[in-house]
């Protein structure tokens, strides 16, 4: 297996074990590929749920630019809901898992069609 395949398996385990979600492996693979080289860097592969600037980055670069959502309070509420689902106390919140959960939360799977 490639390093990316190993990471996808890790993300799927996080979705099952920490989020209680059965992952759509096809969508998870597409979201992971969409993250690009960020998944291989220890710092950029995770989302700091307590960092305001990190939340803004997720909102602007992923929700608005990638998923094409309009800016508004619903985006921040969606991020909060996803972080609650993932578990705010989890130290490592993988970017690909957060993006997968956000894609599902907003029903924007078509962005990866």
Residue 102 vs residues 1, 2, 3, 6, 30: alpha-carbon distances, Å: 27, 26, 24, 22, 14
Percent of the chain with pLDDT strictly greater than 90: 91
Residue 26 is part of a domain; what is its CATH number?
1.10.238.120
pLDDT tens for 54-71 read 999 999 999 999 999 999
The domain in which residue 21 lies consists of 3-112
What is the pLDDT confidence band of residue 91, given thresholds at 50, 70 and 90? Answer: confident
What does the chain come to in residues?
113
| Confidence (pLDDT) at 1 | 75
Predicted local distance difference test score (pLDDT) of residue 62: 97
Closest to 25 measured CA to CA, from 94, 90, 109, 92: 109
Q: Per the structure, how many domains does the chain have? A: 1
pTM of the model: 0.96
């Amino acid at each position: 297996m490639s390093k990316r395949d190993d990471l996808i398996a890790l993300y799927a385990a996080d979705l099952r074990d920490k989020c209680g979600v059965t992952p759509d492996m096809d969508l998870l693979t597409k979201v992971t590929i969409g993250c690009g080289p960020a998944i291989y860097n220890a710092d950029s592969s995770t989302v700091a749920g307590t960092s305001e600037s990190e939340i803004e980055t997720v909102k602007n670069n992923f929700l608005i630019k990638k998923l094409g959502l309009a800016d508004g309070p619903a985006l921040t509420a969606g991020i909060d809901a996803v972080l609650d689902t993932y578990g705010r106390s989890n130290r490592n919140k993988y970017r690909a898992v957060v993006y997968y959960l956000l894609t599902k939360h907003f029903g924007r799977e078509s962005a990866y069609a």
